[in-house]
Amino acid sequence: MRVEVVAVGTELLLGQIVDTNSSWIGEQLAMAGLDSFYQTKVGDNPERIRAVISQALDRSDAVICCGGLGPTQDDLTREVIADLLGVELVMDDAIAERIRNMFASRGREMPENNLRQAMVPVGCSPIPQQPGTAPGLVCPVGDPVTGKVIYAVPGVPYEMKEMVNGTILGDLIARSGEPAVIRSRVLRTWGTSESALAEILADRIDELDAIGNPTLAFLASGVEGLKVRITAKAVDEEGTAAIIAAEEKVLEPLIGHLVFAYDDDNMESVVVDLLRSRGLTLAVAESLSGGYITGRLAAVADSAEVLLGGVVAGQPAIAERLLGVADGAAVNEETAVAMADGVREAMGADIGIATVGVGGPGDLDGVPAGTSCLAVSAAGSGAVATTVRLPGDRERIRQFSAITLLDLLRRVLLDG
C-alpha cells in the first residue's frame, strides 16, 4: 500500500506556516507499515491542486490531502475532489446541523459561508471524527473496496491528527490486506564527514540496495551529529527488531568507533550520564562557543548533579582575571589548556573543559576563521588538547566546536 501526502495551502509555499502536518502523517504511516514515497505542497489554485492529486493517484494507492477544507473562497479541496471524481457536491444535513450546534454552544451565530463545509462529493463519506467545523472525507476512486482512495483532512493539526488516528490509518491497513511494521534505529556519529562516512559504507549500501530491506540513510544534523538511520520492515515488532539488530552487527566493525549515541540521545546527555556513572563533576570555560556548551549541558535532566558551572570569557581579560590565563587573547592549545585548568580549579571540579578559537567571519591575527582549540583537564591526570578547523558560518562553528569538545570529553571518560 503506497500512500502519498498532499498539503494544500499557499501559506505553506510562502513559508508563513511550516508544514509539520506532512512530517507527522509520514511518521504515522511508517509506524503502521505503510509505504510513503512522496509528499507534495501545492498552493490554493484549483488547476494545480487537481494536477497534483491526479499525479499522486497515478503513482500511489491512496492520497491524504491536508488542508483546504475551511469555509472561505480559497478552501478548494472539496470542489477539486468532486471535479476529479466527476461528481457533484451535495449538502449533508447532519454535518450542517453539527456545525450550527458548534456555533450555538459557543453563543455565536454561524456565518452562512460555514455551510460550504457541509458540502460533500457524491459517493464520499464524512470521517466520523469532527472536532472542528471542517469534516474530513473518505473518497473512493473506482471500486469502494479494491480501488484507490482519497482522504481529505483539515490543516488544523489537532483536528487532522484525530481523523488520521481515528479513521484513516485503520482504513488504510484494512485496504492494504498486508499488515506490516516499519521501524528505524538512528546511530549518531561524530568524527568524520558525511562523504567519508558514505565512502566507508558504500559497499554495504550497494548490498542493501540489492536486498531492499533494511535500508541505510544519512542525515547531517549539526550539533546533533551525523545520523545513520537503519530502517527495517517486517510483519511485526519482533521481526523489525531482529533485522535492525542484525544490521547493527554488520555496521559495528565499520563505524562502531564513530557512534556516540542512539535514537533520541545526544552528545551532551551521553556525557552527563558518563560523568554521573563515574561520580565526577564538570566545569566549562568558553570563549568561541559563548556559553553554548554550558547551555546544552544544562538542558539535560538532572545535569546539575555533575555540572558545577561555566565561565564565558568573551574578552581575553575575563580569562586572565577569572581563570588565571596568562594570555587570554592567544588562540592556541596552550590557552585552551590554561582555561580548562583554571575553570576546574576555580570551581573545584574533577574535570574542566574549554574552547577558544576564531568564529569569523574573518581571520584573527593570522589565525583562520573556524580554528577551534579544545582542551579537557582532569585533576591529577593532566590535560588533553586538540585543534580542529571547522566549516560554516559563525553559528555552525559554535555548534561544531561544542559537539567536538564534548566528544573529546566522552572519549577521555571512556578511556579512563
Q: What angle do CA 247, 184, 399 make, to 5 degrees?
A: 100
Distance of CA 151 to the CA centre of its chain: 25
**Whole-angstrom distance, CA of residue 23 vs CA of residue 172:** 18
> Is residue 15 classed as helix, strand or coil in its secondary structure?
coil
> What is residue 159's predicted lDDT score, i.e. its pLDDT?
94
> What is residue 130's predicted lDDT score, i.e. its pLDDT?
92
Q: How many alpha carbons fall within 13 Å on the CB side of residue 169?
A: 20
> What is residue 392's predicted lDDT score, i.e. its pLDDT?
86
Q: Which conformational region is residue 8 in: left (phi greater than 0), alpha (psi within -120 to 50 degrees), or beta?
A: beta
Domain 3-176 has CATH 3.40.980.10: yes
What rounded mean pLDDT belongs to the chain? 92
Q: pLDDT for 151-189, tens place per residue?
A: 999 999 999 999 999 999 989 988 888 777 888 899 999
**CATH domain 181-262 topology:** Alpha-Beta Plaits (3.30.70)
Tens of pLDDT along the chain (416 residues)?
A: 899 999 999 999 999 999 999 999 998 998 888 899 999 999 999 999 999 999 999 999 999 999 999 888 888 999 999 999 999 999 999 999 999 998 898 888 888 888 889 999 999 999 999 998 899 999 999 887 779 999 999 999 999 999 999 999 989 988 888 777 888 899 999 999 888 998 999 999 999 989 889 989 888 888 899 999 998 988 888 999 999 999 999 999 999 999 999 998 999 999 999 999 999 999 999 998 889 999 999 999 999 999 999 999 988 888 889 998 988 788 999 999 999 999 999 999 999 999 999 988 888 888 899 999 999 999 888 899 999 999 888 899 999 999 999 999 999 999 87
**Whole-angstrom distance, CA of residue 135 vs CA of residue 118:** 7
Residue 306 phi/psi, 5° resolution? -120, -25
- Residue 82: partners with Cβ closer than 8 Å, 6 or more residues away: 88, 89, 121, 122
CATH for 267-414 is 3.90.950.20
Write down how long the chain is. 416
> Taking the domains of the chain in order of start, what are their residue ranges?
3-176, 181-262, 267-414
